[in-house]
Amino acid sequence: MQAKLIYTKGLKHVLIIGFGLLMLYPVLWLISSSFKPNQLIFSQPGLWPSRFTLDNYINGWRGLSGISFGTFFMNSAVISVLSVLGNVITCSLAAFAFARLNFRFKSLLFALMLVTIMVPYHVTLIPQYIIFNELEWINTYYPLVLPKWLATDSFFILLMVQFIRGIPRELDESATIDGCGQSQIYWRIILPLLLPALITTAIFTFIWTWDDFFSQMIYLSDIRLFTVQLGIRSLFDPSGSSDWGALLAMSTLSLVPISLIFMIFQRYFLEGIATTGLK
Amino acid sequence: MRAAKRLKISQHNRTAYLFLLPWLIGFLGLTAGPMLGSLYLSLTKFDLLSPPTWIGLDNYRQIFTEDNTFSGSLWLTFTYVFLSVPLRLIFALLVAMALNKGIRALGIYRTVYYIPSLLGGSVAIAIVWRQIFDGEGAVNKLLGFFGITGPSWISHPDYIVYTIVTLSIWQFGSAMVIFLAGLKQVPGDLYEAAQMDGAGKIGQFFKITLPMLTPVIFFNLIMSMINSFQVFTPAFVIGDGRGGPLDATMFYTLYLYLQGFSYFNMGYAAALAWLMLLIIGGFTAILFLTSKFWVFYGDSKDGR
């Protein structure tokens, strides 16, 4: 009986590990191919490179039309960090108001905020494009970053509202007695306690902005402003004549920042997903 | 006294609206305003260069009566949504069940299964997908190992959509993490009681686990449906970026993008966008309305 139990348990682990390796295969294939000489990438199926080279990284880093991938990484980082700051600051301000303050039209505005979670980006895209075009902001980062500084990702507001509702109101009340105004309550009491939700927001904003392709493609056509995603897409020629080594090397590098963030903030990730259903 | 009170209330209002100001500007200027704007544009002919000309419902008439690409892209998107959303959730639930029973090294497995969700949205992974599903790629080599000759998944218009569906199912990890959290909430004494009543494993699953998870499933279903309707990057990168082969990757958002930003039929694209909003809104409403028949909230307050 005991032996059988150990046996089935062991079998289960083998299955789970085997399935896990299968799941990771595409990622492992990408990493291993990026170290293979170009002619071996498709001819040698094994994951371990029989000849190991860094040429792909050197070639790929040169980038496109004289603009190196370093620039693309810098650009992506600037957009992502500015978006993170915008979302964290403005969503938490709005969430504080919705969760703690009383004001006219509160329930109406809250309902409208909830509805906007469902609204696809595409419905606002064309008028937004027209506005940004009128402002001559095409080929700048404003169209990508400004929406985050105006709390348009209402999903995060909802996340923070729910979190703030869990913070005991007695804390606010005793701060009021000590003479704190609302802005001090926000700054000294709510914000520090909201930290886990802020980190979740920051992580997911970073990843979504880093991986964003659609709006970057629409607003950026000047190669000097290109992001990592746009750079990779431009290295890639669907008709088949791409420099695959360079392409896969830069693709591998493009996943590094996200993976690092995941490793550092793993706990917040899994908690954030579990409590909010973020992707 | 009353005046003082009113003063206090208006002060309250002012503080609150100061906090709300960025959101309010964004809501009016970047969400609500543009939504109405695109409703207006959808009733016009507009190419960005000359001012819009009013054509009434002509765009919609054209979409429904003359535009075969529209109906094709809508069906393609429906196929994608109705295959990938349920399959991803079923996968997530099965793996979560397998991992749930106090297994050792759960943390590591959870991380491994989550990695696809983490990386899957990038252009990089879409390119990898294109390669491993290519005629000579890893998938067909694996099938060949079992003696099956796989089709050329990428270049054949009948199969490429399944390539994109698998990419979506592959990212079941985030849903799995949510299910794992949900499974932890199911009280153990329910299972004990069921066992005493003689319920088998399968009976327990359908009578206890599944009903207790319905709030989580409901939430997952809505969010993944809304997101799946908007799929763009895989269609753009795995296909040729113009909907090919033979419009087999002409997903709704790609068609909208091409109409708006390649052909500069911005009025037409706005009409497509509003139809998309109505479709997503319709499905969300259906899910909400049917939820009272199948979502079990029990008596716990934070069932969600």
For the stretch B164-177, pLDDT in tens is: 999 999 999 888 98
Under the banding of pLDDT at 50, 70 and 90, the label for residue B294 is confident
> B-chain residues within 8 Å CB-CB of A129?
260
Cis bond upstream, residue B245 (ω within 30)? yes
Q: Are B31 and A262 a contacting pair at CB < 8 A?
A: no
> B-chain residues within 8 Å CB-CB of A274?
177-178, 180-181
Distance between CA atoms of residues B23 and A149, nearest Å: 8
Cβ of B245 under 8 Å from any chain A Cβ? no
Cβ of B146 under 8 Å from any chain A Cβ? no
Q: CA of A132 to nearest chain B CA: how many angstroms apart?
A: 11
pLDDT, tens digit, for every residue of A67-92? 899 999 999 999 999 999 999 999 99
What is the mean pLDDT of the segment spanning B179-190? 84
Give me the residue from B22, B216, B270 closest to A149, CB to CB: B22
Q: What are the C-alpha distances in Å from B133 to residues A49, A241, B137, B164, B276?
A: 21, 17, 5, 10, 30
> B-chain residues within 8 Å CB-CB of A16?
98-99, 103, 109
Q: CA of A86 to nearest chain B CA: how many angstroms apart?
A: 10
Is the model's pLDDT at B3 over the cut of 80?
Answer: no
Task: Say what the ipTM of the complex is.
Answer: 0.88
What is the mean pLDDT of the segment spanning B87-93? 93
Q: In chain B, whose CA is at the least distance from the CA of A125?
A: B34
Q: Structure tokens of A130?
A: 């027209």
Q: Are B284 and A130 a contacting pair at CB < 8 A?
A: no
Q: CA of B4 to nearest chain A CA: how many angstroms apart?
A: 17
Q: CA of B190 to nearest chain A CA: how many angstroms apart?
A: 22
Q: What are the C-alpha distances in Å from B151 to residues B79, B135, B140, B163?
A: 20, 7, 8, 11
Give me the residue from A24, A182, A183 closest to B112, CB to CB: A24
pLDDT at residue B262, rounded to an integer: 93
Q: Are A226 and A220 in contact (CB under 8 A)?
A: yes
Residue whose entry in the numeric block shows the structure tokens 């399935």: A19
pLDDT at residue A267, rounded to an integer: 78
Is the model's pLDDT at B101 over the cut of 80?
Answer: no
Under the banding of pLDDT at 50, 70 and 90, the label for residue B300 is very low
Q: What are the C-alpha distances in Å from B286 to residues B84, B280, B293?
A: 19, 10, 12
Q: Are A229 and B123 a contacting pair at CB < 8 A?
A: yes
Catalogue the E-assigned strands of A30-158: none
Residue whose entry in the numeric block shows the structure tokens 């040429």: A55
pLDDT at residue A157, rounded to an integer: 95
Element of type H or E holding B300? none
Mutation for testing the B interface, residue in A124, A228, A248, A256 having most B CBs under 10 Å: A124
More confident residue, B206 or A113: A113
Distance between CA atoms of residues B280 and B295, nearest Å: 20
Q: Are A20 and B122 a contacting pair at CB < 8 A?
A: no
> A-chain residues within 8 Å CB-CB of B103?
12-13, 16
**Domains of chain A with CATH codes:** 2-55 (no CATH), 60-274 (1.10.3720.10)
User: According to DSSP H, which parts of B230-265 are helical?
Assistant: 233-238, 252-257
pLDDT, tens digit, for every residue of B110-159? 888 999 999 988 999 999 998 888 877 888 888 888 878 778 888 788 88
Under the banding of pLDDT at 50, 70 and 90, the label for residue B303 is very low
> B-chain residues within 8 Å CB-CB of A11?
none
Is the model's pLDDT at A203 over the cut of 80?
Answer: yes
Q: What is the pTM of this model?
A: 0.90
Is the model's pLDDT at B299 over the cut of 60?
Answer: no
Longest dimension (CA), chain A: 76
Under the banding of pLDDT at 50, 70 and 90, the label for residue B181 is confident
Give me the residue from A42, A94, A112 closest to B22, CB to CB: A94
Q: Are B22 and A131 a contacting pair at CB < 8 A?
A: no
pLDDT at residue A241, rounded to an integer: 67
Amino acid at B92: A
